[in-house]
Copies of this chain bind each other. A is one copy, B any other.
Amino acid sequence: MQNKMYKLKDSEVVRFRNNTCLCIGTGRMGLALQKEYFEQLKLIQETIGFKWIRGHGLFHEDMSIYQEYKTEDGVVVPEFNFTYLDLVMDSYLELGIRPFLELGFMPKAIASGDQSVFYWQGNVTPPKDYAQWNDLVAATLQHLIERYGAKEVTSWPIEVWNEPNLNYFWKDADRKEYFKLFRETIYTVKKVDSNFRVGGPAICGVDDVSWLRDFLDFCRDEKIPIDFITRHLYTISVPERDGRYGYPKLRPLSKACSETDVSREIIDSYPEFRGMEMHVTEFSTSYSPRTPIHDTNINAAYIAFLLSRLGDTCESYSYWTFGDIFEEWGVPFTPFHGGFGLVANGKITKPAYWTFKFFKDLGNGECIHRSDEAIVLKKQDGTYRGIAWNVAAAKEGEEIRLCFTFEDSVSGGSEYCIVTRTVDEDTCNPLKIWHDIGEPANLSPAQGSLLREGASPLVATQRICGAPSVELKLGANALVYFEMFPVKTASDRGFDYKRAVNVEFVKE
């Protein structure tokens, strides 16, 4: 057991920016037509509520946007079909969320090659002719503006392509070609409406430093009107594979954010781009949709650490992804399969869901404590809210006892109530329940209910008198949310709680 004692003063405010709810990731756009997808996103929006949603596949075949036909003279004429795009956007807006538009991948009909990525075969080659690509981009944005209004649509950020520094996402990871794509695209977008905000290069992990420098050089040299920089962040080693699954190791917390820190430094080193917004348009621990870590309690704790830090360097950071309707490596065989989602299929909340719910409830305020295992805010209404976690990789069972005392609070004779919500391996661990019932591939209704019941935090309250303080015990990989506020009891006439709960037997 580690003991950690902290004295907190309202006057000692530390750095913290909570942009947790700005953006969330999603499986490809065509999946947004699905009922189960909608229901998972509805659950997320009703309880957390993100502003933007970002994923791949806007121009993929299953969205049917790009079509063409031959005239009698044999001329090929493009046609744009927005039937499904409207269905998707209508349902996003119905749920109070907006797209962070990623422009990609390439419709086969206008692609220069056959190379594709994923089970669903997204084409990753440049266009045969940039004019065709530009027409597609312009027609799509123009349609959205006609349907939803320019004010609405130009508030949706636009990102050009996905991870072009990886050769399975962009043919040959060809930098010059990407810069061309970027230039063509940004000018096309700005021509439709100059209020659109456009960014890139959406790079990820490999050779990212030189890529980012080259990209910024290009933007500076060609005076590209870029609005923000995007990149991705994953914090694992290369997974060891077994069958469908991968088992990676986690970067220690000290190195968890090094990629974003370095990117921030590079951007700020350019006078032209100093302070420019950086959006992490994907982040998680693992970058594979078959790494069981996503479903575990350690993931919840580790993500809590990330959410406490990423606002230092980034404008938004989009967890990859909200749910498990996701097909990059095919349709999952089982409800728990190491998918990216905060919610497993069957609408089962995973531990990391609670990390987001807790940072949503934490909200903003003055940060009076931030460490590797906790964050505490003083809220405008005078109450305190905090989150604590215990990333216990390879240190099974090591419990942390955290104790906060609040020095500046008005106390005296008054009383406080402390509410805690605990997510740990005993109280909110649906993966364990699923394992214990035999890892069923297809959940019966009763199994689904059991898993949903077993996927909620333990809620507890306590009353304390005198000086305000909060003591938390964090088992391995625990995540705890707390609130503390002053309480005055005004009991109803004749109501006496102690008497209420101390019932005696009639003596015989």
Which residues of A does B touch, CB under 8 Å?
33-38, 64, 67, 69, 79, 81-84, 86-87, 91, 143, 147, 236-237, 241-245, 247, 249-252, 254-255, 292-293, 295-298, 330-334, 337-338, 345, 393-394, 396, 417, 419, 421, 425-427, 431-433, 435-439, 441-442, 444, 450, 453-454, 456-463, 487-497, 499-506, 508
Contacts and interface: CB of A to CB of B under 8 A. Distances in A.
A427 B461 CA distance: 10
Given A35-B34, A506-B237, A345 B83 contact: yes
Contacts of A456: 453, 456
B393 A426 contact: no
A293 B496 contact: no
Contacts of A143: 442
A254 B505 CA distance: 11
Contacts of A252: 505-506, 508
Contact of A505 (B35, B69, B394, B488): B394
B243 A497 contact: no
Nearest to A236: B506
Q: Which of A36, A69, A345, A499 has the most CB of B within 10 A?
A: A36
Contacts of A493: 69, 79, 243-245, 333
B494 A244 contact: yes
A433 B345 CA distance: 32
Contact of A503 (B293, B444, B459, B497): B293
A500 B460 contact: no
A456 B334 CA distance: 27
Given A83-B345, A488-B438, A492-B333, A450 B247 contact: no
12 contacts: A35-B37, A81-B333, A82-B442, A83-B345, A236-B506, A244-B492, A247-B496, A249-B505, A419-B437, A431-B501, A437-B461, A456-B456
A463 B436 contact: yes
Contacts of A432: 461, 501
Contacts of A296: 500-501, 503
B147 A330 contact: no
A404 B82 CA distance: 38
